[in-house]
Structure 1
Amino acid sequence: MIYWSANSTNSNQQSLSGSNPKKKVHSGNANNELEWRDLEDYPLNLSQQEVMIEEGKAGSSWGKSEINSGYNSLLSRTLQVKGSKVNCFFDTEAPKILVVDDHAASRMTAAALLAMEGYEVIEADSGAAAVVLVTQKHPDLILLDVMMPGMDGFEVCHLLKQDEHTRLIPVIFITALNDRRSRIRGIEVGADDFLTKPFDRVELAARVKSLVRQKRLNEDLDHAEQVLFSIARAIESRDPNTGDHCERLVTLGQNFGEYLNLSRSQLRDLMWGGYLHDIGKVGIPDAVLLKNEQLTLEDWEMMQQHVLIGEKICQPLRSMRGVIPIIRHHHERWNGSGYPDGLKSNEIPFLAQVFQLIDIYDALTSERPYKRAFSPAEALSVMWEETQAGWRNPELMQRFTDFIHTYNLK
């Protein structure tokens, strides 16, 4: 069993009795940072009933308000393992796990088990405290109790999953056995997994390790995507004449996509296409890309390569599969006179057809060194001339015209 005792106002010692009474946990500062020593062989079969807190000891720091000033009811402790078991699965620092439960015994049981597995553990005893700690500590996973006073687990999970900065953090709900209603509600608010009390050590370790690994893979993917977007913005900045072309395409693409009732994934691909459609221009020399006079045949052949270069840049990322057809085919024409593949009519991917309309419209309605900014009516007139010449999808062009008339009335 675990007992907490206070030897001084600045140092707490936790003695473990049972099969291994010599194992100890020391705390040496007012920030409640713990260092777990020599616990590798300790059996991890603790249950909630085996965790006991010795209350009423003078000088115990766990409940002192002055130590936890600014957090009110928040309890935050960091537990680390020397030579942690989890290091064989993660090459970087030990993952951070936030344990949120208003019952101290249950919270401490989970924290002890996770700390023994090599994780850095942070604790919170309320939903509000958990939200504060998430923004401050950036945990890799949250073990979240469902039923808590004030802000319950559902509210915490919903809040975090709606935030762009915290949506990738996996959330494991702690529920009672066979609590079907809580599980359904948890799925609705975005929970990633469920665990029941009392904890099974093996199950807890396996689920946490799997979700932390998945979270880090998602972060790597997210970082790779951000690199691509940064490259795209750098390319746009090479040509000061385009202004905020990409940003306008993203906004216009979202609005036109919603008008067409595109799916969520199609909307995302269309918006990402706004940033990445010309990323291949990173391989086009400035002498060609920024040339003011008419391009020569050699220049034009080189310029056409940007769609193929862009495809190669984005191809390794699986998340770009829906964007790649936009990058490669947004210069195709309905009658087959476009490039790079000379596709005709509906051989051209639908999102590429949609994107080329908003791309052309923005170019026509924006000022360039060689032209003034056309009015919406003038731009649509030019696009209809191209449609009659066989360059555009007539049906889609009509829908785009209707959309622009509606959009400009907002």
Structure 2
Amino acid sequence: MVLKSNYTGSTERVTSGSNPSETINDIGSNKALGLQKAQTYSLGLSKQDLMVEKVEAISSWTNQKADSGHESLVSRKQHAESQVDIFDGDTPKILVVDDHAASRMTSVALLAMEGYEIIEADSGFSAIELIAHSSPDLILLDVMMPEMDGFEVCQRIKQNEQTRLIPVIFITALNDRHSRIRGIEVGADDFLTKPFDRLELAARVKSLVRQKRLNEDLDHAEKVLFSIARAIESRDPNTGDHCERLIQLGKAFGEYLKLSRNEIRDLMWGGNLHDIGKVGIPDAILLKQGKLTDEEWKTMRLHVLIGEQICQPLRSTRGVIPIIRHHHERWDGSGYPDGLKGDEIPKLAQIFQIIDIYDALTSERPYKKAYTSEEALSTMEEETKRGWRNPELMKKFADFIRSWQSNPEIKSN
């Protein structure tokens, strides 16, 4: 069924649900009662903000829904004149989830007056379905709902890679401490209590929508970088799954060293991004089978600087940049690009370099066979004696590899 709203002027589609007649009892079938209810749920509004004609329209709109029979609204989009900044012309989309029609309509009315596009769901199952194909910018979620409550809805949202960045605001009672704690555990981003204050609702929604879009921009930029890195790897068929192996080995060795969560993440990202600067190296040099000339070698060394420049603008890659720039430094200062010595070399760059060399030695290349684990460790220990590696770190790595190789459970985690 398609209805025309007096309030928004937009087309609404009734898709499923139960009896909405409770709306009449809660909001009222006449304009005076509708005005009274709207004022009750809009604490802090000035008489200029809550315009009588809009409240009258809400009441008329409510009556239309009551006359629609035994179908309740699950998905309805609304547009109103913008009362706030609409984010560079791209109207944010808000999903309001509440099985109680009166409470849902209060949220809808206040948000629509702020200029947001509104989608509604009257159950957790309907919400999950709508999220999948509507991609809302924020979800206003009631806690207590039958069959699937707000906690389960939020948990599903936050565990899904495609929806985890959508902010969720839980609607709770004023002193519902248990719901707030449980909400934090399942990943809620904020909480609001009933009755709503319009200014607080608008401020919280606007802030979280802005944060969500910033996070999406960062997420998109990171995916672009990883795609570039994978494309570079695919240009050289000799390296195989080098990046993926570095990610797994970096995670395992980082955990062995008891590094922090962020340091382990940076090591893993380093597996993808350490050679991203090779995108700026000509194929004639990058893919050359024979020995590089001195001039070609100078060009090849530039890849660490190019990689640093590519990743520098992203704050999320700051921890990876030392790995990108310095993973070819040597303990005695004979490496590049800066000739750093000893602990002048960033810790994660030292760790990553050892992982990188080990994987290169144990992988088959056109110019060499794959070394066994012990052959690779022996070669690296010889290089450590020549001053190329951190002796203490090299010993820890050798101990780790031997225990890692002998324990299948460690390798599979």
TM-score by length of 2: 0.84
- Give 3-state SS (helix, strand or coil) of 1:241's partner: coil
Q: Does 1:78 align with 2:77?
A: yes
Q: For 1:200-215, what aligned pairs fall within 5 Å after superposition?
A: 200-215=197-212
Which one has a larger percent strand, Structure 1 or Structure 2?
1
Deviation string 1:344-397 (CA, Å, 9 cap, x unpaired) is 111111111111111111111111110011111111111111111111112211
d(CA) in 1 for partners of 2:5, 2:251: 57
Q: Does 1:132 align with 2:129?
A: yes
Partners of 2:8 and 2:78 within 8 A in 1 = no
Unpaired segments ≥5 residues, structure 2: 17-34, 43-54, 409-413
Q: Does 1:318 align with 2:327?
A: no
Match of 1:376 among 373, 395, 398: 373
Q: CA offset at residue 292 of structure 1?
A: 1.4
1:60 is aligned to: 69
Paired positions, count: 373
Paired AA for residue 393 in structure 1: N
Match of 2:358 among 342, 356, 361: 361
Partners of 1:14 and 1:26 within 8 A in 2 = yes
Paired AA for residue 182 in structure 2: R
Which one has a larger percent helix, Structure 1 or Structure 2?
2
Q: For 1:182-261, what aligned pairs fall within 5 Å after superposition?
A: 182-261=179-258
Distance change (3 Å), C-alpha of 1:221 and 1:111: same
d(CA) in 1 for partners of 2:66, 2:88: 41
Distance change (3 Å), C-alpha of 1:399 and 1:27: same
Unpaired segments ≥5 residues, structure 1: 1-9, 16-22, 33-41, 64-73
Match of 1:327 among 310, 324, 329: 324
Paired AA for residue 210 in structure 1: S
Distance change (3 Å), C-alpha of 1:308 and 1:268: same
CA RMSD after TM alignment? 2.5
Match of 2:162 among 162, 165, 168: 165
TM-score by length of 1: 0.84
Match of 1:112 among 109, 112, 116: 109
Partners of 1:11 and 1:26 within 8 A in 2 = no
- Alignment identity in percent? 69
d(CA) in 1 for partners of 2:36, 2:349: 59
d(CA) in 2 for partners of 1:194, 1:379: 55
Q: CA offset at residue 28 of structure 1?
A: 5.7
Partners of 2:78 and 2:112 within 8 A in 1 = yes
d(CA) in 2 for partners of 1:56, 1:113: 18
Paired AA for residue 155 in structure 1: E
Paired AA for residue 291 in structure 2: Q
Q: CA offset at residue 27 of structure 1?
A: 4.4
Q: More deviation in 227-236 or 320-329?
A: 227-236
Distance change (3 Å), C-alpha of 1:200 and 1:44: farther
